[in-house]
Amino acid sequence: MKKNKKRFSAAALKAGYRSGFEDDTAKYLKEKGINFTYEKERIEWLDVRTRHYTPDFILENGIVIETKGRFVSNDRRKHVEIKKQYPKLDLRFVFQNSRAKLYKGAKSSYGDWCKRHGFKYADKLIPDDWLEE
């Protein structure tokens, strides 16, 4: 099974993406005829020091899409801080599985976290209504 995963990751890397999920999302957007950029912009955000966030996809309508398989605590903290510092940034998540728990034994899922913090989210594919906004 690991062989297939490595081969898939290599194919994604060859296509210019960091993961198979990002590669799939890019293919989906291309099939839909949606113009987007991939990791072309950097957003400065302040932590103890200045950091940079590179969004996965920015749609032509300005919506920022972050694709996530795993959504670890550092990612969650970063996105809360970015939202505080850039309240007009329309940042949305597309998860491989929004029902995945935040950590082992947690009652809350990725989707629950998004609802609690005011982020829109979807599973697997970017919803058509996001593309048409």
Each residue of 114-125: pLDDT tens digit?
999 999 999 999
Instruction: Identify the pLDDT of residue 13.
Output: 82
Cα 128 from Cα 111, distance rounded (Å): 19
| Single pTM value for the model | 0.71
Instruction: Identify the pLDDT of residue 2.
Output: 47
Class of domain 47-133: alpha beta
Instruction: Identify the pLDDT of residue 8.
Output: 56
37, β-bridge pairs:
58
Residue-wise burial string across 65-93, b where 16 or more C-beta atoms lie within 10 A, e elsewhere: bbbbeebeeeebeebeebeeeeeeebbbb
CB burial of residue 17 (10 Å; 0-12, 13-18, 19+)? buried
37-91 tens-digit pLDDT: 999 999 888 876 778 899 999 999 999 999 999 999 999 999 999 999 999 999 9
Cα 48 from Cα 31, distance rounded (Å): 41
Instruction: Identify the pLDDT of residue 1.
Output: 41
Average pLDDT over residues 109-133: 97
Cα 46 from Cα 6, distance rounded (Å): 35
Instruction: Identify the pLDDT of residue 7.
Output: 52
Average pLDDT over residues 85-98: 97
**Residue 62 phi, psi (nearest 5):** 95, -5
Instruction: Identify the pLDDT of residue 3.
Output: 47
Higher pLDDT, 110 or 4: 110
